[in-house]
Amino acid sequence: MTDHDDKMTELLGRYPVKLNSYCKALAERSPAVAKLYLPDLRELDNPGLSSDGLAELEQSPVRNLIRRYRDRAVLLTTSECFVRCRFCFRKRLWADGASHFTLSDENLDAVCAWLDRTPEVDVILLSGGDPLAMNDDRVVEIASRIRDSGNVRTVRVCSRAPAVEPARITEKLTERLSVIDGLWFVTHFDHPDELTPDAEAALKRLVSHGIPVLDQTVLLKGVNDDPETLRRLFKRLAALRVKPHYLFHIDPVEGVSHFATGVERGLEILEDFRYTLSSLALPMFAIDLPEGAGKVVLTPDCRDADGRYRSSVTGKYIRHPLADLTDSGE
């Protein structure tokens, strides 16, 4: 075996590939989409980063619940996904040695009891993994119980299904989700090639049932880090009545640093959008800080003189280890 073969074996042992037939066919047609799902030896590069660079495990008052902000929390419903994205910031959930899970009844009871004791939390994000990797009954049960607990008013179902398994967005599922008060659907598209006719039909199905839909996109070097690509994506989403919500810089976790563009590239793209995108199609550009310091919405004046970002959680200024990169031309 060659050194390349040895490294690829190591990579696949650490971060296994999971690719369904839908995304495999899409990756064969789109080189950009292929980069989202196919292994890259640069995933083995680890410039001093942690598998939990956002300190989620330190901010968990109940197993599988992450609370970073006063009024909202994230519930990890399962470690399972339809595919495994190579830029995933929760690779720790499916890396070699990880314990795969789906939220148990006992764990759900504990989360609901915590919400009853914590009335200031009124927004819960159902995440994972991908919640829609579970069956309809379990998704609806968890969303309904969370909505009826404590002072919860809004439940966001966060799922890549419209982009990676659009057949999962069935008429039956959308009907059942649509009757849950305060439910929003948050999906994730990174490239206009992902907006296939099947994906568009899935989004239309959600919207036609009165479910508000937001999109989150990650700025990825070599995939979508140019204004024209993202402009096409965001305009098409807005035309489908899906609001581009956030454009995120890559997170500071191990195994993803080769996707980092540096913040300046994102700000350049944002400046272009000021003149070429309406507010309906314009997302906020944001970065998640290490140490559990939360999101910062990025603008040209978002940093101090030392290039640090002000935490929305603590108010302290924090440096982001992947934010100050410049394009090396690779």
Residues annotated as catalytic (active site), given as ranges: 68-69, 72, 81, 85, 88, 90, 251, 288, 295
Residue 47: what pLDDT? 76
pLDDT digits (tens, 9 = 90+) for 12-44: 999 999 999 999 999 999 999 999 999 999 999
- 328 domain residue, yes or no: no
Per the structure block, which two tokens stand in for 49? 């980063």
Over residues 221-227, the mean pLDDT reads 97
329 band by pLDDT with thresholds 50, 70 and 90: very low
- 324 domain residue, yes or no: no
Q: What separation in angstroms does the CA of 286 have from each of 179, 273, 311, 325, 326? A: 32, 15, 12, 16, 18
- 119 domain residue, yes or no: yes
Residue 330: what pLDDT? 47
Q: Which of 6-15, 41-50, 55-64, 217-226 has the lowest mean pLDDT?
A: 41-50
On average, the pLDDT of the chain sits at 94
β-pairing, 183-188 vs 294-297, is: unpaired
pLDDT at 118 over 80: yes
- 325 domain residue, yes or no: no
Tally of structural domains, the chain: 1
Residue 326: what pLDDT? 59
Name the burial class of residue 190, with classes exposed (0-12), middle (13-18) and buried (19+) by CB atoms within 10 angstroms of its CB. Answer: buried
- 326 domain residue, yes or no: no
Domain region containing 52 = 3-318
Over residues 254-266, the mean pLDDT reads 95
Provide the 3-class DSSP secondary structure of residue 111.
Answer: helix
CA distance 204 to 208: 6
pLDDT at 89 over 80: yes
Residue 258: what pLDDT? 96
CATH of the domain at 46: 3.20.20.70
- 330 domain residue, yes or no: no
CA distance 285 to 74: 20
pLDDT at 263 over 80: yes
- 327 domain residue, yes or no: no
CB 250 within 8 Å of CB 256: yes
pLDDT digits (tens, 9 = 90+) for 130-162: 999 999 999 999 999 999 999 999 999 999 999
Per the structure block, which two tokens stand in for 304? 């101090």
CA distance 135 to 110: 21
pTM: 0.92
- 233 domain residue, yes or no: yes
3-state percent breakdown (helix, strand, coil) of the chain, nearest 5: 40, 15, 45
pLDDT digits (tens, 9 = 90+) for 275-323: 899 999 999 999 999 989 999 999 867 788 888 888 878 888 888 988 8
Q: Which of 1-5, 11-15, 210-214, 247-251 has the lowest mean pLDDT?
A: 1-5
